[in-house]
Structure 1
């Protein structure tokens, strides 16, 4: 039996493919390009827009890993509906859904919340991996180039805003563990605890690079302008809006009682460990 991994050529899915293959699992990589080459995996094309293709990919699977792309919310809602229809029809043994940091509170609505609720009602064994913010966000060119060239870490959060940062590598570790732990269901929080602030991120860069790096809060408008060339105006505006809403929050720290460390024995990487692992 195989483990079906969505986004296999993207940052999050590729990490899951690598971790699953390293654990000796048979992997089916889902991509938009059926001619893509993914090390350690069989490749199939099953776009989120096709319920029939998703159902074919999920049928007989030991596990499915899914996450929603950053795109227009209207499309994300359609994709969530198609995933749920395919899960109900194909009934894979296990589904693990990464929220990618999007809220899953039903009161707030949205595609991630709809997918989480639908999985809970599907009758299929499932778990929801819930990170807060990704360390890989710091690798966007306009951020990491500023760190290297100016010794400044720019990000649209307050200096006193604590975050339980997680890497895609941490998500992959949790997903593979959850494939083997059907007894663990519901939400599993992934990220550093205690949470750390922007200046503490800068200190880790300083230690790794051997030079002074300072944290600098930027506005959400500045963030949107920098994101737009990477993901398009619409998606950039949506992401910037999420950070604007975040500015009213005290922080984004995971709940230790639902953490991957407590439920799975999976400890997230420190900032220093992550920098070493990615070879920065």
Structure 2
């Protein structure tokens, strides 16, 4: 049994590749540059070329997909190519992670919606993983640095903003479950229940670092000024805008009925468990 993993050298794909291997399954990395993959079989793909993807998907038991980082136009091109390729190649299963981007918003048809529409129209067995925010965001130097050095965890969310945070490791666990069990379909929320406040994040870091840590909300604009030198204006702007939007919301909490806890029997890691699993 062979499973294809998109972005297998990246933050979200690499844990899926590792989790499939740990489960005793054959996993192949679908990447632009196969030389970057040393420990697993790899296939070169262009995520915007259906023909390239058909060659990779043909004969596969499953495919893990998340849209590559890029402009909306680039993501839309990838969504169309992946959907077309899956319909033509007909892998046994496709599991798509939204990576926290919204889907199913009335009046809006984003890349994720287009991909899912193509999979459904093509009759491809598929399921969706819908995380909210990734704990790995807290490893940005501008966030984890002050936590370690000053006992302050700065992040652009209000103190009362509850989020079903999850880690890439949690998504990987759920992806393996959905790739290997085609009886489950629909959209599965991945994240903490009850949802976590900033103070909960700080408490997790405090326990791991063995020092007092407090949460400190910062504005999206202040956060943006800190990350633009790392990602550039074009890369940072969508991130900044997403936190401007969050400032208008009450929180981001997954539905218990469709959560990985309820549907798959999987419990996401606590902040402390996640930090320990990363070996930080």
Partner of 1:241: 241
Deviations along 1:137-170, one digit per CA (max 9) or x if unpaired, are 0011111111111111111110000000000000
Q: CA RMSD in A?
A: 1.2
SS at match of 2:103: coil
SS at match of 2:173: helix
Partner of 1:178: 178
**Could you say if the C-alpha distance between residues 38 and 177 of structure 1 is closer, same or farther in structure 2, counting changes exceeding 3 Å?**
farther
Q: CA deviation at 1:216?
A: 0.9
Partner of 1:132: 132
Deviations along 1:211-269, one digit per CA (max 9) or x if unpaired, are 11111111111222222233331121111111111111111111010011111111111
SS at match of 2:12: helix
Q: Which structure 1 residue ranges, 5 or more long, are not aligned?
A: none
Partner of 2:100: 101
Superposition map of 1:49-64 within 5 A: 49-64=48-63
- Counterparts of 1:163 and 1:188, CA distance in 2: 16
Superposition map of 1:153-168 within 5 A: 153-168=153-168
SS at match of 2:162: coil
Partner of 1:252: 252
SS at match of 1:21: helix
Q: Is the 8 A contact 2:34 2:43 kept in 1?
A: yes
- Counterparts of 2:166 and 2:101, CA distance in 1: 14
More displaced stretch, 100-109 vs 251-260:
100-109
How many residues are aligned here?
279
Is 1:6 matched with 2:6?
yes
Q: Is the 8 A contact 2:165 2:195 kept in 1?
A: yes
Q: Structure 1 segments of 4 or more deviating over 4 A?
A: none
More displaced stretch, 16-25 vs 227-236:
227-236
Partner of 1:123: 123
Partner of 1:79: 78
**Could you say if the C-alpha distance between residues 262 and 70 of structure 1 is closer, same or farther in structure 2, counting changes exceeding 3 Å?**
same
With normalisation by structure 2, the TM-score equals 0.96
